[in-house]
Amino acid sequence: MKTRKFLLSENEIPEHWYNIMADMPNKPMPPLDPGTREPIGPEALAPLFPMGLIMQEVSPEKWIEIPDEVRNIYTMWRPTPLYRAYGLEKALDTPAKIYYKYEGASPSGSHKPNTAVPQAYYNAQEGVKKIVTETGAGQWGSALSFACNHFGIECEVFMVGVSYDGKPYRKVMMNTWGAEVHSSPSTLTAAGRKILADDPNSPGSLGIAISEAVEVAASDPNTKYALGSVLNHVLLHQTIIGQEAVKQMEKAGDMPDIVIAPFGGGSNFAGLSFPFLRMNFEEGKNIRCIAVEPTSCPKLTRGVFRYDFGDTIGMTPLFPMYTLGHTFVPAPIHAGGLRYHGAGVLVSQLLKDDLIEATSHTNPEAFEAGITFARTEGIIPAPEATYGIATAIAEANKCKEEGVSKTILFNLCGHGNFDMKAYEDYFAGKIVEHELTDEEIQASLALLNTPEID
């Protein structure tokens, strides 16, 4: 029998996270104070994050040690398997070799616990009693609920309204791990009330939910905030995915030509790709790393590179990022985790420097890829994951057209067990593309009064 799954033992779980900052030829520009617009230091983040995480956010060190307690919790689902996609390859009749790293094996069903656990750990170390966060489709909120429960920390989650209504079982999952969940925008915060005053039917967005969570966290000294993507320390934690994948590809006697992952704020993509980019930096390899976003939320492929807020209201520091403007509200696609207006600074700088690539797919293209995957590989993918699958299929088809065999690796970041409503909509013909015009993007960008970047 041909080996299908390449596994590692628990003692092969990496002992360090990889900090790509150390290897980047151009370091990201500093964040700016939202009021003074002057560069800020780490201390400015102290009201929201514990120092353990802030130090990681700004660390120049290439390798950051993973605490034993975190590695111990990682063993609840890690190392995750790396699969050779024999079924998909056969269906596509492609000369390409396709592999995927499966992060859906975690308790909450995605890659998000990889950072939720260390975030809860560092908060617990510093005596934090409660963590507030936002969640889109629910993957991040579930992961943080799971992690907080483990450390006996209270967890409060603002869930993007359109997902709160469409995915009620994600809420119950968070409740099962002891978290409290609100639909966002809510009347519990000034930010939420402002949004509702402007649009009582607002479907919500990650940016809005972030505003609400940050507001709650900032108002209580025993409460901190946590973010599931975008920030450097979050991307850092996710590098455990790619580090395992490097080892597993070696076990498979192979190495990818192309590494692919869906893109929301950057943690999914960074998690898989940064350890392969390290090989580009260190060993002069030329592995293509492709971030995949929805055409309905195209900050990497149609946005601008400038300073912008991380949230919708404008409470966070200003970050140098690819953005559609912080007031941009993406169409309510099922891939809620990809509905974010901006990109993390590390990924933005890498794209600016042409060290990575970006592409996009429509909603129907992504679902079609997801169905093909479910029927050939068995696992029903999360809507976010289907975007990465769509690019993997496109690259495999290109190999067939060109008659070349390439090795493709993508991040199957989560299962779709909580997203069956999305599949129901697909079979009912309700998955359509929300065509985004240049005028809509320009209108959103025109509202920005944040510093431009040369």
Binder among 17, 49, 177, 309 for a second copy (CB under 8 A): 177
Query: Cβ closer to a second copy: 138 or 265?
Result: 138
Distance CA 41, CA 6 (A): 43
From 20-28, 104-112, 271-279, 382-390, give the range in contact with a second copy by CB under 8 A. 104-112
Cross-strand bridge partners of residue 100: 83, 410
Candidate segments 21-29, 295-303, 373-381, 387-395, binder of a second copy by CB under 8 A: 373-381
- Among 199, 424, 435, 440, which residue interacts with a second copy (rule: CB under 8 A)? 424
Rank residues 179 and 318 by Cβ distance to a second copy and give the closer one: 179
Strands of 223-225's sheet, edge to edge?
180-184, 154-160, 130-135, 223-225
CB neighbour list of residue 61: distance below 8 Å, 6 or more residues apart: 19, 22
Distance CA 107, CA 342 (A): 28
Smallest separation (angstroms) from a second copy to the CB of 170: 8
Cis upstream peptide for 113 (omega within 30°):
no
Q: Minimum CB separation from a second copy for residue 174, in Å?
A: 10
389 in contact with a second copy (CB under 8 A): no
Token couple for 452: 């431009």
Cβ(13)–Cβ(273) under 8 Å?
A: no
Q: Which is nearer to a second copy, 105 or 304 (CB)?
A: 105
What's the min distance (Å) between Cβ of 155 and a second copy?
Answer: 12
What does the buried/exposed string (b/e) look like for 128-153 if buried means 16 or more CB atoms within 10 Å of the residue's CB? bebbbbbbbbbbbbbbbbbbbbbbeb
Cα 260 from Cα 254, distance rounded (Å): 16
Q: Tell me whether residue 237 or residue 341 sits nearer to a second copy (CB atom).
A: 237
Residue 111 as a binder of a second copy (CB under 8 A): the answer is no
CB of residue 11 to a second copy, shortest distance in Å: 7
Q: x/- contact string, 120-159, with a second copy (CB under 8 A)?
A: --------------------------x--xx---------
- Decide: is 250 part of the binding site for a second copy (CB under 8 A): no
31 versus 416: smaller Cβ distance to a second copy? 416
Contact 337, 51 (CB under 8 A): no
Figure out which of the listed residues 219, 405, 417, 442 binds a second copy, where binding follows CB under 8 A: 417
- Our finding on whether 253 is near a second copy (CB under 8 A) is no
Find the part of the chain contacting a second copy (CB under 8 A) among 21-29, 164-172, 283-291, 388-396. 164-172
Number of residues that bind a second copy (CB under 8 A): 44
Q: Does 393 bind a second copy (CB under 8 A)?
A: no
Q: Binding string, 58-97, against a second copy, x = CB under 8 A?
A: ----------x--xx--xxx--------------------
Residue 199 contacts a second copy per CB under 8 A: no
Candidate segments 91-99, 222-230, 302-310, 372-380, binder of a second copy by CB under 8 A: 372-380
- Which residue lies nearer to a second copy by CB, 43 or 68? 68
- Answer yes or no whether residue 288 interacts with a second copy by CB under 8 A: no
Beta bridge partners of 135: 159
Q: How many CB atoms lie within 10 A of CB 421?
A: 15
- Figure out which of the listed residues 371, 394, 400, 433 binds a second copy, where binding follows CB under 8 A: 371
- For residue 119, count CB atoms less than 10 angstroms from its CB and return exposed for 0-12, middle for 13-18, buried for 19 or more: buried
- Interface with a second copy (CB under 8 A), residue from 418, 436, 441, 444: 418
What sign for the dihedral angle of Cα 308, 40, 155, 189? negative
CB nearer to a second copy: give 138 or 388. Answer: 138
46 touches 281 (CB < 8 A): no
24 belongs to the binding site for a second copy (CB under 8 A): no
Cα–Cα distance, 84 to 281 (Å, whole number) = 26
Residue carrying the six token digits 């975007």: 387
Q: How far is the CB of 171 from a second copy (least distance, A)?
A: 8
Structural contact between residues 303 and 354, judged by C-beta atoms closer than 8 angstroms:
no
Please report, as ranges, the residues that interact with a second copy according to CB under 8 A.
1-5, 7, 9-11, 68, 71-72, 75-77, 105, 107, 109, 146, 149-150, 168-169, 172-173, 175-178, 371, 374-375, 377-380, 415, 417-418, 420-421, 423-424, 427
